Amino acid sequence: MNLEKLFSKHFPSFNFLFNYSLAKKSYFKIGGQAEIFYSAKTRQEAMDLLSFCKEQGVKFTILGGASNVIIADGGLSGLVLSLDFAELKLIEENEQELFYQADAGIKTSYLVSRVANQGGGGLEGFIGVPGVLGGAIYNNAHYLKDLIGDKIYQVEVFDVKNSEIHIFPREKCEFAYEQSVFQKDKNLVIFSAFFALKKSSPDKVKEEVRAAIAKRELTQPLHLPSCGCVFQNPPNTDLLRKLFPQFAHLDFIPAGFLIDQAGMKGARLGDIQVSEKHAAFFVNLGQGQAKDVKKLIEKVKTVVLEKFNVILKEEVFYLS
């Protein structure tokens, strides 16, 4: 099947990009080509393309801000679709809360800044989460103990299988640490989310935003390409509490700390390195490749398992 001809014929007004380098979009600056790439500016464009993929049996991949993914060196076949509608609406307010609808394509940092200016509290820590809101919801992004899903009361979803839009209440989203129902069912595509935020003083909220920014700049390798934290923080254990009493009170222990204690901070394979600033981050020093990321991930997991009997689980998603 010649997909270029097929899509160009059925959507003559759409500006598709063929054999498009995904490394250009990736925060990690890693990844091969998309067979077909398109940025949907409206819900209707996205629905038409996704329904067409279903009818034609064409593989599709939803790509958010490409900040928490490792894209295969061989690229992605089929359609790679970016959802670029990015409206933010204040839909209701009362004395205690502000209620917003935010589209999937809005940058997470921009969302936090906008609501902070209006005194919407609760999202301050997510100012440094890269990428767009759709990806943050898919991954149920976290900042310290806060999960973005805890601030959401419903999500607008396009069900590709049935070509229908649904409103999922929070419970149906199955939010948990680094988890959501959207990871289980690829036919559920996030279009927007509805937030209920505590009303506060804009100056107070903005001060908390500035504090969160300062903390990230101090502790994370923001000057180098990366995919953010590679690993989830693992559950604490009796052995870890004995070895590291400073974390005995925590349910989860920082993955970066364990990697550091295992002697893997600064470890390198090709141009991929375990960050010397924050060991839960891998950075691309130049011409890094996905295959080297995977190999280094397995090496880190092996060493941590040997030293601390802890199985690290990836927080990043592999796209292939």
**So what's the pLDDT on residue 145?**
81
The DSSP bridge pattern shows strands 97-103 and 88-93 to be antiparallel
**In the predicted model, is pLDDT for residue 1 greater than 80?**
no
**So what's the pLDDT on residue 144?**
78
Summarize the confidence of residues 180-200 as an average pLDDT.
97
**So what's the pLDDT on residue 238?**
96
DSSP symbol at 96: S
Has this prediction a pTM greater than 0.85? Answer: yes
Confidence tier at 78 by pLDDT (50, 70, 90): very high
**So what's the pLDDT on residue 262?**
98
Confidence tier at 143 by pLDDT (50, 70, 90): confident
Are 116 and 207 contacting, i.e. CB atoms less than 8 angstroms apart? no
Of 221, 301, 304, nearest to 261 by C-alpha is 304
**In the predicted model, is pLDDT for residue 220 greater than 90?**
yes
Torsion angle, alpha carbons of 217, 218, 223, 225, to 10: -90
User: What digits encode the pLDDT tens for the residues 45-64?
Assistant: 999 999 999 999 999 999 99
Residue 11's φ and ψ, nearest 5 degrees, are -130, 65
Q: What share of the chain is helix, strand, coil (3-state, %, to 5)?
A: 35, 30, 35
User: What digits encode the pLDDT tens for the residues 114-133?
Assistant: 999 999 999 999 998 999 99
Hey, what domains does the chain have and what are their CATH numbers? 3-83 (3.30.43.10), 88-209 (3.30.465.10), 221-319 (3.90.78.10)
Distances (CA, A) of 252 to 232, 256, 309: 9, 12, 15
Provide the 3-class DSSP secondary structure of residue 226.
strand
Q: What percent of the chain has pLDDT over 70?
A: 100
Summarize the confidence of residues 17-32 as an average pLDDT.
97
**Rg (Cα) of the chain, in Å, rounded?**
20
Of 290, 132, 127, 111, nearest to 216 by C-alpha is 127
| Among 82-91, 212-221, 303-312, the least confident range | 212-221
**In the predicted model, is pLDDT for residue 15 greater than 90?**
yes
**In the predicted model, is pLDDT for residue 256 greater than 90?**
yes
